[in-house]
Structure 1
């Protein structure tokens, strides 16, 4: 019987060693052919076509095809849903839940948690990839922490965001997440997760804004977030942060996350409009780099501005 070509055995871009062996390929010949043709190793026993650059879904499916009971979760699920996180999906472990709680350990680059998952909390997308739904993904991140990572993810899901060039609507709301956490009362990390959820602002516009607000909170500074003002020309502007009593506006440029020069130019024009508002007496601007890598500098600049006499 003539053996099938390896490409004929692909399943959604993934070739399983076990499937090739079942199709009649001798193990030694298969190993040699995979090496000669330059197949890309995805996971132990799973390969992608030569010359391909496997995307996240393909890499996740490779693991799930070998371990069918696993469910994509946490940051891996967040990336599929278009939810921003502090850690990029590339270079971080692929994350799964084993609802049967029987698997131990895992290959390098794969993290498996043993947790219960209700069928209603699982969604299936293209090629049969199974992952936790939005609400379960976010409650898992809130319960697992750390705080900054979790709050960034939740605020991303609560608002309209452009992720990987695609504009998407809000994916959930605070009430739904509160109910999800309440249903898990008594489970590890749930009480702390509820506290972190109360820190979330549905109107935050970027991960940089989220982290800036958390740094202000930790420093004991509590400005209005997303305060809306009217310019003398009648235009509405929304401030990232506003210390109204001092007339101090604080804006986070967020260029590293907004991602285009056009959006950066629009931000600069908006800064000029902000200064036209009679309530605003001074304006501080910080970059995403300041927020993530120089938060002490940002806090000190704000404290200095607040200390100035009116």
Structure 2
């Protein structure tokens, strides 16, 4: 057989050993060809075409080709939908749902399979993969937790967001997520409680987590609060405002504002905020403060609220 015939067996950049053997390739000749041409081993029984980067998508594709009953779900589905979560691609594993409840977990190291019911109406195709639709993906994340990660994902999906280099439109509506949570699965009651914490005005994962930390500390500022700088008709919107105390809280940082130029614009914006009569004091926190020093952040807010 010629090289082109072997590549003709590829699907989504992945070649299954079983397909090549089924097409008549002798096992010894097959593995010799794979080695000499530089095919990359994705996992047992699956190979990536020469020059293909073995990333999360390729690993998802290989696993689903080997186990067609599995549906990409939870955090893996969120990444395919460009929904932000608190995990990086390097930190997250592969997640699937087995609607037939027949998959044996030990067969695929590094893959987590949820054995929960899933209807075909909740499954769509995206980039050649069978994946849970957006409302079901969010419902799964809410049921599974943890809370902050799930709320970040929901708020991301409900809003316009810049994910990577692309500006992504809202993917669903709150009502659809509520409907998806009507299925009586484990964790649904807690998930519905967490869904009440969602604020569609949140502009980034850092803002979401900052607000949740404040909520846990019994602090409940206005979000995306409208204010008006002196001497100009243009209004501004603050991440958080304790209006009675005149305290504005802003979350900044390269990680979630995108570029250095965007950061420069933010600094100019902070100066304008201080020209607003509604604001007597301004606190600024970085994303690193929010994620790694939340106790300190809350202490700073408490101190500013009670300052003379």
Residue 282 of structure 1 deviates from its aligned partner by: 0.5
Residue 91 of structure 1 deviates from its aligned partner by: 4.0
Residue 218 of structure 1 deviates from its aligned partner by: 1.0
After TM superposition, the structure 1 = structure 2 runs for residues 217-232 of structure 1, keeping only pairs within 5 Å, are: 217-232=215-230
* Distance (whole Å) between structure 2 residues aligned to residue 223 and residue 98 of structure 1: 42
Any idea what the Cα deviations from partners look like across 1:249-271, whole Å, max 9, x if unmatched? 00000321222111111111111
- Per the alignment, residue 165 of structure 1 pairs with 165
Check the 8 A contact 1:3/1:25 in 2, yes or no: no
- Per the alignment, residue 233 of structure 2 pairs with 234
* Distance (whole Å) between structure 2 residues aligned to residue 189 and residue 152 of structure 1: 18
- In the superposition, relative to structure 1, how do residues 291 and 83 fare at CA in structure 2: closer, same or farther (>3 Å)? same
* Distance (whole Å) between structure 2 residues aligned to residue 294 and residue 35 of structure 1: 49
- Per the alignment, residue 115 of structure 2 pairs with 114
Matched, 1:126 2:134: no
* SS of match in other structure, 2:267: helix
Residue 52 of structure 1 deviates from its aligned partner by: 2.0
For structure 1, the 5+ residue unaligned runs are: none
Matched, 1:211 2:212: no
Residue 4 of structure 1 deviates from its aligned partner by: 5.5
* Distance (whole Å) between structure 2 residues aligned to residue 2 and residue 239 of structure 1: 63
* Distance (whole Å) between structure 1 residues aligned to residue 262 and residue 93 of structure 2: 32
- In the superposition, relative to structure 1, how do residues 57 and 300 fare at CA in structure 2: closer, same or farther (>3 Å)? same
Check the 8 A contact 2:13/2:52 in 1, yes or no: no
- Per the alignment, residue 195 of structure 1 pairs with 193
- Per the alignment, residue 31 of structure 2 pairs with 31
Give the TM-score, by structure 1 length. 0.94
For structure 2, the 5+ residue unaligned runs are: none
Aligned residues: CA RMSD: 1.5
- In the superposition, relative to structure 1, how do residues 3 and 78 fare at CA in structure 2: closer, same or farther (>3 Å)? closer
Residue 34 of structure 1 deviates from its aligned partner by: 2.2
